[in-house]
C-alpha cells in the first residue's frame, strides 16, 4: 500500500498493482531499473487484431516507457507461423501472407500506446527480420546445440503437452523465442523481457541462451505478470462469447466501453490496478467509492473512459458515452443511423416482411408469447417503434418508415431493444 512517508519505486508499484508474479533476480532487476534500460515484450500475430487480453502487457510496456525506459514491441512475424504451444492442442498453421497481414495490423494497434519520439523512443521489431534469414543448419548448429532436451522437457508449456502429444514444430518454439531475445540484446542491449506468467519458460530459455553465447556475467532479467482472471471463474476478455478486440472494425467503441462498464464490483479494483495508468492514490479513491457507493459505478466509469480513449480516441469515447446515455436514459431519435447501428450491433435481430403488424412482429421476435400478450403491451404503452410510443394495436411496420429502408427498432420497457430487418 502506498504511503506519503515512503514513495514506492517503480518495481514496488508494479507489485502493488498485482503485476509481478515471477522475477529471475529481483534485486538485480531493481538495481538495473535505476537507470534507463531497454525492455521488450513479444506479440505473435495469430490474428489480425490483438484483444483486451493483450492490454496488460501493452500497458506494461507503456508504464516502463513512462518511467524513462526504452520499450521494444516485438511482432512475431516468424514465430507466428508456428505458434506458442497451447495447453492442449496444436495451433493452426498460418501462411506467410496471413502472418504478414496480421503483423502489419498489430503494429498499427500497438503504435497507439507507445511514443516513438524522445530519448526513450519505442522500437517496433519483427522477428522475421532475423529468423526468416536463418537456415536449418544455422538453427541446429548455432542454437539447437545449446539446448538440452531434458531442460526443454522441464518447461511447463511442454510438460503439459507430453501426454496429449506435441509436434517438434511447437516443441522448438521456446528456442526461437530465445533467439529473439539474443538478437534484441545484440542489437539494442535489451536486458529485460516481460510476459504473462505462461511465458516463464520462454523467458528463462532466452536468458540461458544469452549467457551461453555472451558469458555468465551478462545481466539480463525476466519478469512475468499474473494472467487476468474473473472472480466468477469465466474467461476474461470475452463478452457474450465474443472476443473484445483492439481493432475498432471488430469491436466498436460502444461495445468496448460497455465491456468495461459492465465489470463486476468484485473485479473492478483489480482491473484498475492492472490496467489503469492512474496513480495509486487515485485508484484507492475509486476503490473507496466502489465499497461505499457501488451504485455510482465510479471505478467502472473511470476505467471504461480511460481505456476507450486509449483505443478509440476522444471521438470514439464521446460517441460511446452518447450512445450509452441515450439507449439507457433517452430517446433513440437523438442518435444517427450510424450510432444506432453501433449501439445495437449486439442486440437481438429478427427478419420480418414489409407491412407486418406490430402485434405479429412482437410475437415473431419473441418479445411476446402470444398476440394477446402483444396487445396488452401496446395498450399499456410499453412498446416503442423507432423512438415513438406505439399507441395503436393496428400499427404496422413498413420498410419505407425504417432507418435507411433497412431496419426498425422495437423497444420494450426501459432498455430491451429488438432490431427488425426488412
CATH code of the domain containing 105: 3.40.50.620
| Cα–Cα distance for residue pair 55/358, rounded to 1 Å | 45
Residue 353 lies in a domain: yes
Helix, strand, coil tally for the chain in percent (to 5): 50, 15, 35
Q: Does 42 share its domain with 181?
A: yes
Find the angle CA(117)-CA(122)-CA(123) to the nearest 5 degrees: 120
Q: Does 64 share its domain with 85?
A: yes
What's the burial of 302, exposed, middle or buried (CB within 10 Å: 0-12/13-18/19+)? buried
Report which DSSP code applies to 368. -
Closest listed residue to residue 182, CA positions, set 134, 137, 226, 148: 134
- Is 21 in contact with 226 (CB distance < 8 Å)? yes
Q: Does 262 share its domain with 394?
A: no
- pLDDT value of position 395: 95
- Is 96 in contact with 55 (CB distance < 8 Å)? no
Q: Does 119 share its domain with 211?
A: yes
Q: Does 164 share its domain with 267?
A: no
- Is 81 in contact with 132 (CB distance < 8 Å)? no
Longest C-alpha distance within the chain, in Å? 85
Which residue, of 315, 343, 371, is where some domain finishes?
Answer: 343
Report long-range pairs for 146-152 (Cβ below 8 Å, ≥24 apart): 146/208, 146/209, 146/212, 146/213, 147/174, 147/175, 147/178, 147/205, 147/208, 147/209, 151/208, 152/205
Find the angle CA(34)-CA(68)-CA(66) to the nearest 5 degrees: 125
Tell me whether strands 407-412 and 388-389 are parallel, antiparallel or unpaired.
Answer: unpaired
3-state secondary structure 243-268: ECECCCCCCCHHHHHHHHHCCCHHHH
- Is 289 in contact with 222 (CB distance < 8 Å)? no
Q: Does 143 share its domain with 199?
A: yes
- pLDDT value of position 82: 77
This prediction's pTM: 0.87
Q: Does 74 share its domain with 165?
A: yes
- Is 188 in contact with 123 (CB distance < 8 Å)? yes
| Cα–Cα distance for residue pair 315/318, rounded to 1 Å | 5
| Cα–Cα distance for residue pair 44/195, rounded to 1 Å | 12
Closest listed residue to residue 304, CA positions, set 342, 275, 274: 275
Q: Does 245 share its domain with 142?
A: no
Q: Does 385 share its domain with 270?
A: no
- Cell 460502444 identifies what position? 254
| Cα–Cα distance for residue pair 108/49, rounded to 1 Å | 10
| Cα–Cα distance for residue pair 106/58, rounded to 1 Å | 11
Residue 30 lies in a domain: yes
pLDDT tens-place values along the chain, 422 residues long: 444 445 789 999 999 999 999 999 999 999 999 999 999 999 989 899 999 999 999 999 999 999 999 999 999 989 888 766 666 666 677 888 998 999 999 999 999 899 999 999 999 999 999 999 999 999 999 999 999 888 788 877 777 777 778 888 888 888 999 999 999 999 999 999 999 998 998 999 999 999 999 998 999 999 999 999 998 888 888 777 789 999 999 999 999 999 999 999 999 999 999 999 999 999 999 999 999 999 999 999 999 999 999 999 999 999 999 999 998 876 788 899 999 999 998 889 999 999 999 999 999 999 999 999 999 999 999 999 999 999 899 999 999 999 999 999 999 988 789 999 99
Q: In this structure, how many other beta carbons lie within 10 angstroms of the beta carbon of residue 324?
A: 17
Distance of CA 59 to the CA centre of its chain: 10
Q: In what order do the strands lie in the sheet with 407-412?
A: 348-351, 416-421, 407-412, 383-385, 388-389
Which residue, of 343, 376, 404, is where some domain finishes?
Answer: 343
Domain count, the chain: 3
Residue 232 lies in a domain: no
Q: Does 255 share its domain with 212?
A: no
Which residue, of 225, 249, 279, is where some domain finishes?
Answer: 225
Which three cell numbers, joined as nine digits, stand for 167? 509436434
Residue 230 lies in a domain: no
User: Domain of 413?
Assistant: 348-421
Closest listed residue to residue 76, CA positions, set 57, 97, 103: 103
Torsion of CA 193, 307, 47, 102, to 10 degrees: -80
Which three cell numbers, joined as nine digits, stand for 27? 534485486
| Cα–Cα distance for residue pair 378/366, rounded to 1 Å | 15
| Cα–Cα distance for residue pair 116/71, rounded to 1 Å | 10
CATH code of the domain containing 279: 1.10.240.10
Q: Does 37 share its domain with 155?
A: yes
pLDDT tens-place string over residues 306-328: 999 999 999 999 999 999 999 88
Residue 3 lies in a domain: no
Q: Does 323 share its domain with 355?
A: no
Residue 4 lies in a domain: no
Residue 231 lies in a domain: no
Residue 104 lies in a domain: yes
Amino acid at each position: 500500500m502506498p504511503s506519503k512517508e515512503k514513495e514506492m519505486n517503480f518495481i514496488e508499484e508494479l507489485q502493488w498493482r498485482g503485476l509481478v508474479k515471477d522475477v529471475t533476480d529481483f534485486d538485480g532487476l531493481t538495481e538495473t531499473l535505476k537507470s534507463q534500460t531497454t525492455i521488450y515484450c513479444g506479440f505473435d500475430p495469430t490474428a489480425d487484431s490483438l484483444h483486451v487480453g493483450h492490454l496488460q502487457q501493452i500497458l506494461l510496456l507503456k508504464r516502463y516507457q513512462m518511467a524513462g525506459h526504452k520499450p521494444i514491441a516485438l511482432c512475431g512475424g516468424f514465430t507466428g507461423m508456428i505458434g506458442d504451444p497451447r495447453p492442449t492442442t496444436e495451433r493452426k498453421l498460418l501462411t506467410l501472407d496471413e502472418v504478414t497481414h496480421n503483423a502489419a495490423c498489430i503494429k498499427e494497434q500497438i503504435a497507439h500506446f507507445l511514443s516513438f519520439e524522445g530519448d526513450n523512443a519505442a522500437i517496433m521489431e519483427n522477428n522475421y527480420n532475423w529468423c526468416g534469414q536463418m537456415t536449418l543448419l544455422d538453427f541446429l548448429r548455432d542454437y539447437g546445440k545449446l539446448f538440452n532436451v531434458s531442460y526443454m522437457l522441464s518447461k511447463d508449456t511442454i510438460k503439459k503437452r507430453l501426454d496429449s502429444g506435441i509436434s517438434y514444430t511447437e516443441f522448438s518454439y521456446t528456442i526461437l523465442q530465445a533467439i529473439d531475445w539474443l538478437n534484441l540484446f545484440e542489437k539494442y542491449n535489451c536486458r529485460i523481457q516481460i510476459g504473462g506468467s505462461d511465458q516463464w519458460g520462454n523467458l528463462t530459455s532466452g536468458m540461458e541462451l544469452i549467457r551461453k553465447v555472451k558469458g555468465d556475467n551478462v545481466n539480463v532479467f525476466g519478469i512475468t505478470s499474473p494472467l487476468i482472471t474473473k472472480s466468477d471463474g469465466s474467461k476474461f476478455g470475452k463478452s457474450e462469447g465474443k472476443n473484445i478486440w483492439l481493432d475498432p472494425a471488430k469491436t466498436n467503441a460502444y461495445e468496448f466501453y460497455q465491456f468495461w462498464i459492465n465489470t463486476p464490483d468484485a473485479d473492478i479494483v483489480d482491473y484498475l490496478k492492472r490496467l489503469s495508468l492512474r496513480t495509486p492514490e487515485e485508484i484507492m479513491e475509486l476503490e473507496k467509492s466502489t465499497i461505499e457507493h457501488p451504485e455510482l459505478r465510479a471505478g467502472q466509469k473511470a476505467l471504461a473512459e480511460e481505456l476507450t480513449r486509449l483505443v478509440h480516441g476522444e471521438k470514439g469515447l464521446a460517441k460511446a458515452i452518447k450512445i450509452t446515455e441515450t439507449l439507457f436514459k433517452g430517446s433513440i431519435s437523438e442518435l444517427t443511423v450510424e450510432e444506432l447501428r453501433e449501439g445495437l450491433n449486439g442486440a437481438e435481430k429478427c427478419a420480418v416482411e414489409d407491412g407486418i403488424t406490430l402485434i405479429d412482429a412482437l410475437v415473431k421476435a419473441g418479445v411476446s408469447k402470444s398476440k394477446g400478450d402483444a396487445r396488452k403491451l401496446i395498450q399499456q404503452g410499453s412498446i416503442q417503434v423507432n423512438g415513438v410510443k406505439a399507441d395503436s394495436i393496428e400499427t404496422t411496420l413498413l420498410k419505407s418508415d425504417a432507418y435507411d429502408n433497412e431496419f426498425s427498432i422495437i423497444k420494450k420497457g426501459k432498455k430491451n431493444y429488438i432490431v427488425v430487418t426488412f
